[in-house]
Structure 1
Amino acid sequence: MAGVGSAWRLIHTLRVRMALTTSAWLFAISGLILLALYLALQHSIDARPLDPVTVRKFQRKSDGTLMYKTGETFQAADLESVQQAVNQSTLDMLRNYSLIALAVISLISLLVGWFVAGRMLRPIDAITSTANRLRATDLSQRIRATGPDDELHTLADTLDNLLDRLDTAFRAERALVADVSHELRNPVAVIQANVEAVLADDRASPQERADALAIVSRQTTRMSRLLDDLLATARRRSGSFGDERVDLHEFVTDVTAEHVLLATERSLDLAVHASPGPVIYADPESLARALTNLLGNALRLAPEGSDITIAAGSVEGWAWIAVRDEGPGIAEADQQRVFERFRRVDDSISPSSHRGSGLGLTIARQIVESHEGRLVLHSRLDVGSTFVIWLPDRADASRGVRSGQPPEQDPLGER
């Protein structure tokens, strides 16, 4: 039964079907050609079987008379009948040889089709072998197809590119899990230590309990920010954006109003300068998350009593939102690193109580880029930083053709 099953599976393989299909088509075409040739010859020549006439045999005597020899006869035919019989014999020979040729052609075409199909389907065998070697923990296998640059080669290259993207995504996911585990381990350990050492101790003084509660509150706030950023990452990757028409002036004003109380607690002055007019199409909740992350960074890093400027406008067909602070600034060599996941340029800049999750700027950039925009940084050490969100301005097509890339300059001007 196992042999029968293997033979049945072999018959249903693509290679066998291609070989049989090639052989069948070649057999049909050759048969039609030979049949047409046979019919053409049959109609062009006069052919029929020989129709002989039985003739009695006579013998001439010495005196010149003919004498019939009893029981002796022979077959005779005229010249035309003989020619027709020769033509019939030729047609019969052509028919027989044609049938033999068809059988030979079928066998040869089957063998050639089997060989050619194997050569053509070799990339598919490589794809299958590579897919069988893939594991959830190892996506490093590649097809690396060779041979002519045909459709199957293109398919193999496409799958290799897909595997590259999947491998990159899986590596990023594993790195994210490792980073999140590392980030959560410390606050959880701090909370556990304070609960066990102070809050669970009946002999702890009220002041010790108050200090422990403050520490626990700060750590839970830190974990809450981290979880919010992780949720924003998951939502961005799920493709659940719902673009809406967003008036930039109202949007910036509303988001900034939510941070006034936090700014007041640190004696910071929030100044809003939003020009009316620019309109974008975006997911308001996601874009608000990006702007909130930028404002959160500014509120944590800006010195007490300093100013934070939030502005919006439009330049060359690009709408922009800028957040400027008077914080410590970021060195030019570190300006791209701040957008990396869980990357903090200098933890000494802000106290642990005001430290972010390490995902804020990463999430902000991803959200902006998913809206066909760019997030750029302009910063100088000991002067401050300006984060600018550039998005396509959809307000008025008459403003001119939008350039391929947003302007490089700081829309709030150099400081």
Structure 2
Amino acid sequence: MSIRTKLLLLLISVMVLTLFLALVEGYQRSLARAETLFDSHLHTQAEVLFHSGEIAPQSLPNVIWQRWHQGDIVAGSTTWLTQPEQSGMSTLNAQGQRLRVATYCQNQQCVAVAEPIAERFALSEQLIMAMVVPMLWGMALLALLISIVVKRALRPLSQLSQELKGRAAHDFTLLQMQPNESEIKPVVQTLNELLHRTEQAYLRERYFASDAAHELRTPLSAMKINLHNLQQRYDDDDAQALVESVERLNHLVEQMLALGRTSSHQWQDKLGPQSLAQLCQACIAELYPQIEKKQLDISLNGECRDIQGETFTLSVMIKNIISNAVKYTPEGGKVVIELQDLDAEVTLSVSDSGPGIATDLRERIFDRFFRVGGDSHPSHIPGAGLGLAIVQHVVGLYQGKLALMSSPWGGLQVQVTLARQRDTLCSD
């Protein structure tokens, strides 16, 4: 529930409760005051009737009245009670109804005038309702005015909320609001300071790895050339181990660069129809020398419709999944790639006959630089520990689903499910 709604409910509840109590109190007082006025009017009628002598019944058509002289009824609209003993007001039941009676007595003569309490009560309610209805309308108008005032008062807060809500996760530009309210101004200032500090930290964290990796590429290339020349002269185990270490370092640098490039704001405007089948074929062609060297049985089965995506991010995801399968599948093993269309989604599954991953370690392998067994991986194959972290990162950009399970051949099966239609990438 919003602050505006809570504030409106609180103010309107207090107003309604206050007016309700005021109406109850006013209603009770109005009834008492009307009772007094009606009694006074009824007593005046009795006194006027006493001093006016004989009056024809038709002159008081809505009033029940009687006149007594020395205990006998001498005139009246009806016979309904005995001669009262003294002047005053009383209430009694007569002729099947409740009556309010005013009596005026003097010199053994009495006049009694009565009227039904029900008629008096109905008239009182009409008078009171004539006063209450405008108050109810006023209450509705007051509630509307309160709503308008609260909305205008909270407008700066709503504007701040909308500006923050419409921002992308990587947008750290300062807020442009210039509020005059003393409550909102420090909030905007504090948020701008926080945005500035967050942007600096974000940029340091984001570009450090990619910048460092980029700077390492040149000396690594020079090292590879020099090592190649050295290996031509000294073809021994030490030189070969040094070459493998440099290759591993070079692979790590390339993975770090790939991870740095797979961010949503870089590829947001490059979405278009992408064929997963073609991307898989291109990846297989690129990895074919490794596949042929290990004599792997690799197959691509199934087809699916194009999805909305970006070429580089999808290629990096597919290459890391397939290259992992190729890398860890032993010679003569099997790698099966399957594509499946599921209405609004497509599924990519890569299964291998490699050693697989224990169930209790499947969550951890998404951590960056984590490898099963560390540097002493059971396969004795060098790696950076970034492949599946990059896959998970790309799947997150597409708000897809990533699952690991055992393959039918005892190895690992990686399954990625992506939506076919997408207008934007998720902010990373």
TM-score (ref. length: structure 2): 0.46
